[in-house]
Amino acid sequence: METHDIREKALWVKTQVDGLKAEMEKIIVGHEEIVEGVLICLFCGGHALLEGVPGLGKTTLIKCLGQVLDLNAARIQFTPDLMPADIIGTNVLIHEGDGGRLVQFQKGPLFTHILLADEINRATPKTQSALLEAMQEQTVTASGTTYVLEKPFIVLATQNPIEMEGTYPLPEAQLDRFFFKLSLGYPSAEQIGRIIDRTTTSESPSPRIVMDRTTVGELKALVREVPIADHVKEYAINLGLATRPGSPFATPLVDRYVRYGASPRGPQSLVMAGKAKALFEGRMHVACEDIRAVVMPSLRHRVLLNFQGEAEAVSPESIIEDVVKRVPLPAEKKKG
Amino acid sequence: MNHPKPIPAIEATLPASRTELETIDKMAARLLRRVRIIASFTCAVEGTFFGLCAAVLLTFLHGLLVLHFPALAAAATIVGIGTLTGAVVGALRRQDKKAVLIRGDRLMGSRDLMSTAYGLLNTRRRTFFEQAILEDAARLMKNLDPRLVVPVTRPATLKFIPLPALAAILLLLVPIALQHLPSAELRPGARLQAFTKELEGVARDLEQQARKRDEPRAPELAQELRRLSQDLKSGTIDRSEALRRLSELQGGAEIALKLEQSTRMATTPASESAPNGMANAEGLRKGGEEAWGSGQENDDILPTESLPKNPDDPKSPFYTTVGRDVGDSVSKGSGATKGGAIEDTQEYTGEGSMAGGGGEGPEWGQSTFPGDRPVDDQRGRPSKVLTGNAQDPLAVEVQQTRGDTLKTIVRALPGWFASQVGEEEVLRSYSKQAESALVREEIPQELRKYVKNYFLVISMIKHAE
């Protein structure tokens, strides 16, 4: 293999990702950043938490992803009475033909490639935590037996930020396990027009399969090989540290309003997502711009506000924006 | 799902390629050199700015406090030092190639390609990705224009430089321009020039005297005369300073000239030696008076009211003598001289012997020193100005002291009566009183040297005689 092959490969990745986006755009109107975020999660082996008011196309987006990737997709609507066994699976007693009985593990909807955990905050913490092992270890344990989930495995959870009554906000440990938290905004008038056109006529576009499971696995391996320079890595670390109150990098806003900052998973997420982002653009190295581009989805759910922050309705996004402004790029002087 | 080729093992490594490494390293070195030059220039500009600010301050203080050095040269030196220091600091400022390349990447929009490649220079085995990065970076840097990567930035202080520069120029040039105005001819500049030459002549004479007699005080006086002459020429001293120094020098010079006079009197008749001996002292004083006196209209050196039209006028404040002052006023109120205190000093009417005037009753101005012989040419001339006040040399402070040895120091007119106390006795008595006063620290520190010199010279004169 020569270096031009690797360049070709990088370009090929770009082409593939562009094709994926184009195909998904047939179904999903707008939300380009969300689509890219979900793809980054997929190729980095992470999970995404999508937050947005109802009707913005969260479920549609995930279904569409399953279609274009030729992967199995499952959907679980989380409710307060949903039990862990409902998602993991359970042992059932099977009557055999010869009169014998057999206890067999019946796989739950978790055994899939793309899992849509719809309104995850409506389930009890017990059920939510059942996802923990699957998300982190990509294994499921039932009745003392551990089952390995098929790769790729990605959980795309959604939650509704306005209907908080009767919900169980995700614990910090579970939030930290999500690679990205993507926030969906309202579409523009033009986008709404296109949505109406697509959904109120007899024609319903159907996306074609762009990538198979093997290619997804290869791309995941390729992302990890993208080199990152020391100063870019240091920049990612500094961004993560800057969200921690009391750290030397902490900004005044962080010190004032933040209870807990990003764990090491924060910079990890920044670097991995930066690599994927660089490869999506056909580059073979990570730039500081890549890190900056993914800082919001990587860190916004890892910044936990204190009482004062909650009382003053400070958003984690505003704190991260301040962090990005104040943490200097490499070879720059510290600002403010 | 058509990908170009089956994806090989990514872990495959490549040997280092020397060409790419050299290209990247050379360009990094070039860029670093350019950064240093620009940093040096920027810091030099900043140094110039601060130097100019300091020069303005110095020039201002120079006019305010009368500092003894030429303002223009000092200002130019400060600006030069500022510029040079800035340039050196800029050149020595810590820079490294990677930081330069990171900034270059940002400027070129090359998304950290050059800096990432530079970071890979020291790795021996590389992945395909890393080798591809090196090749891409080398291709980019091969024909890179350093001016694009490290552009010349205009220092922020550059736009502020005209302000202190203008201020410094104004502060420096306005006084010079004023001197060259047509009305400047009416000023005593030309006469002061002549007077400074005269001062230098006196200084030369003093040096010759010193060489002949091995007298330590004379070269010092000569040096001070020269310094005063230079300051007068350059105009770096104001009128009060000039007057104060001239007063000191005049006194010192006369002491030295008295020494000369005494020496000559020991070998030649007084009538022959006196005119020559006093020529310098008189010339010094007269020159100063004329040079300054003519400046009355312009008032650039001396206040008009402080200068006598006729220095011989005994009522003039300029008319004071050390000999007479000390002789008359450093007394217990029983002096033989009938002197009247001038200005606000107490009237002195006590009886007592006149200090000096060996033999004949002296006319005023004759008994310059105790025991001195009267010389015709010295009549009516003040022998020494007592400088007791640095602010106004002509004003002699009246010092009321405790004890009975030094009652007052006043400027007094001489009496017209013969001295009735012997010269030796007067000298001994005054010397004792002066020493006593010095020990008790009743003489101001700045005046002690005059007292000491006074008696030292008298003793030397007596010894020479």
The pLDDT confidence band at residue B360, using thresholds 50, 70 and 90, is very low
DSSP annotation of B186: G
Helix B18-65 to helix B71-92 angle (10° resolution) is 160
The closest CB to that of A227, out of B103, B133, B135, belongs to B133
Q: Please say if the pLDDT value at position B8 is more than 60.
A: no
Residue B309: predicted pLDDT: 38
What's the pLDDT band for B249 if we cut at 50, 70, 90?
Answer: low
Q: Which of the four pLDDT bands, split at 50, 70 and 90, describes residue B392?
A: very low
Residue B361 has pLDDT above 50, yes or no: no
Mean pLDDT of B243-251: 67
Q: Would the CB atoms of A5 and B8 count as touching at under 8 Å? A: yes
Q: How many CB atoms lie within 10 A of CB A41?
A: 25
CA torsion A75-A33-A45-B9 (nearest 10°) is 130
Whether the per-residue pLDDT at B161 is higher than 80: the answer is: yes
What's the number of CA atoms in the CB half-sphere (13 Å) around residue B346? Answer: 12
The answer to which of A28-42, A219-233, B333-347, B428-442 has the lowest mean pLDDT is B333-347
Q: Give dist(CA B400, CA B397) in Å, integer.
A: 9
B251 pLDDT band (50/70/90 cuts)? low
Residues 307-336 on A with a CB inside 8 Å of B are 329-331
Q: With an 8 Å Cβ cutoff, are B7 and A222 in contact?
A: yes
- The larger pLDDT score, comparing residue A238 to residue B246, is at A238
Report the amino acid identity of residue A245.
P
Higher pLDDT, B333 or A71: A71
Closest chain A C-alpha to B173 CA, distance in angstroms: 42
Chain mean pLDDT for chain B: 64
| pLDDT confidence of residue A224 | 92
Q: Give the mean pLDDT of B435-448.
A: 69
pLDDT-based confidence at residue B67 (cuts at 50, 70, 90): low
DSSP state of A97: T
**Whole-prediction pTM:** 0.61
Looking at the predicted structure, is the pLDDT value of residue B32 above 80? yes
A1–B8: do the CB atoms touch at under 8 Å? yes
In chain B, which residues touch A (CB < 8 A)? 1, 3-5, 7-8, 10, 12, 14, 98-100, 102-103, 105-106, 111-113, 115-116, 119-120, 127-133, 135-136
Q: Given this model, what pLDDT does residue A335 score?
A: 54
What distance in Å separates the CA atoms of residue A307 and residue A309, rounded to the nearest whole number? 5
Does A1 sit within 8 Å of B12, measured CB to CB?
yes
Tokens at residue B313, please? 């006028």
Helix H or strand E encompassing B259: helix B239-267
- Looking at residue A237, its pLDDT comes to 95
Neighbours of A201 (CB within 10 A): 8
Contact B404, B413 (CB under 8 A): no
Does the pLDDT value for residue B40 go beyond 80? Answer: yes
Give the span between the Cα atoms of B47 and A308, in whole angstroms. Answer: 48
Residues in CB range of A282: below 8 A, 6 or more apart = A10, A11, A13, A14
pLDDT in tens, B272-307: 433 443 444 455 555 555 555 444 433 333 333 333
Q: What is the dihedral of CA B56, B57, B59, B63, to 10 degrees?
A: 140
Beta partners for A182?
A50
More confident residue, B419 or B211: B211
**Chain A residues lying within 8 Å of B131, measured CB to CB:** 3
- pLDDT value of position B225: 74
CB atoms B133 and A222 under 8 Å? no
A50 in helix, strand or coil?
strand
Among B97, B128, B135, B150, most A C-beta atoms within 10 A, so best to mutate, is B128
pLDDT at position B313 over 50: no
A293–chain B nearest CA distance, Å: 13
Report whether pLDDT(B334) > 60: no
- pLDDT band (50, 70, 90) for residue B385: very low
Cα gap A242→A249, rounded to integer Å: 5
| Closest CA–CA distance from residue B241 to any residue of chain A (Å) | 52
Residue B336 has pLDDT above 60, yes or no: no
Interfacial A residues in 222-241 facing B (CB < 8 Å): 222, 225-232
d(CA B442, CA A250): 68
A137 touches chain B (CB under 8 A): no
Residues from chain B contacting residue A3 (CB–CB below 8 Å): 14, 128, 131-132, 135
The two structure tokens encoding residue A81: 């009475």
Interface contact flag, A12 B3, Cβ < 8 Å: yes
Instruction: Give the percent of chain B with pLDDT over 70.
Output: 46
Asked if B115 lies within 8 A of A9 by C-beta distance, the reply is: no
> What chain B residue is nearest to A332 in terms of C-alpha separation?
B103
In which band, very low, low, confident or very high, does the pLDDT at B190 lie, cut at 50, 70 and 90? low
- Taking residues B380-409, what's their average pLDDT? 42
B423 vs B362: CA distance, rounded Å: 13
Highest mean pLDDT among A262-266, B12-16, B325-329: A262-266
Please identify every stretch of chain A with a pLDDT value under 70, giving residue numbers as ranges. Answer: 1-4, 163, 333-336
pLDDT at B408 over 70: no
Strand segments, DSSP code E, in B27-146 are 126-127
Taking each helix axis as running N to C, give the angle between helix B18-65 and helix B162-179, from 0 to 180 degrees, rounded to the nearest 10: 40
Mutant choice from B10, B108, B112, B114 vs A, greatest count of A C-beta within 10 A: B112
Determine which of A85-89, B140-144, B392-396 has the lowest per-residue pLDDT on average: B392-396
* pLDDT for the residue numbered B441: 62
Residue B370 pLDDT: 38
Residue in A284, A288, A292 to test binding to B, most B beta-carbons within 10 Å: A284
In the block, which residue shows the tokens 């220039």?
B41
What per-residue string of b and e applies to A150-166 under the rule 16 or more CB within 10 Å gives b?
eebbbbbbbbbeeeeee
Q: What is the pLDDT of residue A210?
A: 87
Q: Tens of pLDDT along B252-264?
A: 656 555 555 554 5
CB pairs under 8 A between A and B: 93
> At residue B336, what is the residue type?
A
Residue B449's pLDDT is: 72
Note the ipTM here. Answer: 0.84
Residue B308 predicted with pLDDT over 60: no
**Closest residue on chain B to A213 (Cα):** B1
| The pLDDT value given to residue A204 | 75
Q: Specify the DSSP element, H or E, that contains A148.
A: strand A145-148
Tell me how far apart the alpha carbons of residues A48 and A135 are, in angstroms, rounded to a whole number: 10
